Amino acid sequence: MTEKTFWQSGHRPTLIMAFLYFDVAFMVWNLLGPLAPIFSKALALSPAQKGFVVAVPTLAGAVLRLVNGFLADRIGQKVTGIISQIVVIAGLLAAWAMGVNSMEALILVGVVLGFAGASFAVALPLAGRWYPPQHQGKAMGIAGMGNSGTVLAALFAPLLAKAFGWSNVLALATIPAVLVFIAFVLLAKDSPNQPKPKPLGQYIAGYFKMLAEGDAWWFILFYGVTFGGFVGLSGSLPSWFTTELSMTPVQAGYATAACVFAGSLVRPFGGALADRIGGIKTLSGVYALAAVLLVIISQAPISFGAMFPLFFATMATLGVGNGAVFQLVPQRFRHEIGVMTGLVGFGGGVGGFYLASSLGLAKQWTGSMSSGFLIFAGLALVALAGLSSVKKRWRTTWGAAIGGVRI
């Protein structure tokens, strides 16, 4: 298939808006990570408290993705996206107006930011439902590349905090959020292939039905490692660079932004690679390489010259994996993509919460984050073993039934 055929096979304005909505939402969702070195000093937080605060938006986003997953199927992705954006914009302005002067207030802000993280369950099905199976990897990859919004947070949040104060960054973030909201309302369209709305009880039953499927749990695990690793590192690297290498928050933001950019840029390539050679083969390479890199990170001498290339390569590897997972999900659960996007996104959020919080705990308990990286490497190997155990069955059952699409 040519690139022209891909663009003609769906709705380009919706794909672009899915990306932009996801991009700004991820920027907002990850605000606390780059600001952590600043507010942790202002509020005298311990490493464990700082790690927990940074992880709260990730956990809140994971839970809210379940809500957005069924809302996307029930009332459509566009209306669900509009509601979420209004909540985030209003919540940020309210937090700014009332002030954020305690850890408890930061946790509440983190919960509000979780609504931005839940954009995952809206943007991906909004784009994916417009495209046929042979282009799912590319469409989901382009929409999913919106996780590059984390780059914007890492680059600009410390600079704006230095110029205007860290709490004012919450209000400044609403400016791009409002602009994208207006464009989203005007340009995004739900696919004509929307499933028929069902009663609320059926959606709840649908989640339990999906959880009764063994394959759903595998996808939750797989994305918990790839996306969980990506978002967990995105939130934790600013603190790592400032505490381990004594970098300023702005310098740490630049270094983090470069690593996050690598993971975001390659996501569509991960989807395209999975379209070409199969998602199973792509993910197998991802988990093996990620495990090796994380083990090296846990043991390498702490210097910028050694660690930055390792973090950069790890984020790029996980980014490829994010694209590959969502080449497979629509093939296996095409008629339940909204619910499954919510469930799989929940797994990714839980993985990110675990990594970010565990790194903070490891730092407080042992004086180093090495054990946190090492345990996550073990999770990557668990995912690899799980993938190896199911790949033959997948290829000979639902994979064989698709026809013409590599899994």
Model confidence, pTM: 0.84
Query: pLDDT for 255-306, tens place per residue?
Result: 999 999 999 888 888 988 998 899 999 999 999 999 999 999 999 999 999 9
For residue 128, the model assigns a pLDDT of 76
For residue 123, the model assigns a pLDDT of 87
Given phi > 0 = left and psi -120 to 50 = alpha, else beta, which region is 87?
A: alpha
Q: What is the mean pLDDT of the chain?
A: 89
Quote the distance between the C-alpha of residue 376 and its chain's center.
17
Residue 10 has pLDDT above 80, yes or no: no
- Domain membership of residue 115 (yes or no) is yes
- Domain membership of residue 327 (yes or no) is yes
Question: Which residues span the domain enclosing 296?
Answer: 11-402
For residue 193, the model assigns a pLDDT of 75
- Domain membership of residue 4 (yes or no) is no
- Domain membership of residue 6 (yes or no) is no
Report the C-alpha gap between 90 and 86 in whole angstroms: 6
Question: Domain with 375 in it: what CATH number?
Answer: 1.20.1250.20
- Domain membership of residue 281 (yes or no) is yes
Q: What is the DSSP string of 283-301?
A: HHHHHHHHHHHHHHHHHS-
DSSP state of 10: S
Cβ contacts of 97 within 8 Å, gap of 6 or more? none
- Domain membership of residue 173 (yes or no) is yes
Mean pLDDT computed over 87-110: 94
- Domain membership of residue 3 (yes or no) is no
Cα separation values, 200 from 71, 197, 204, 333, Å: 9, 9, 6, 20
Query: How many domains is the chain built from?
Result: 1
Query: pLDDT for 299-328, tens place per residue?
Result: 999 999 999 999 999 999 999 999 899 889
Confidence at 2, pLDDT banded by 50, 70, 90: very low
Confidence at 1, pLDDT banded by 50, 70, 90: very low
- Domain membership of residue 1 (yes or no) is no
Report the C-alpha gap between 123 and 119 in whole angstroms: 6
For a pLDDT cut of 70, what percent of the chain falls above it? 95
Neighbours of 303 (CB within 10 A): 10
Cβ contacts of 8 within 8 Å, gap of 6 or more? none
Radius of gyration for the alpha carbons in the chain, expressed in angstroms and rounded: 20
For residue 404, the model assigns a pLDDT of 61
Mean pLDDT computed over 2-6: 55
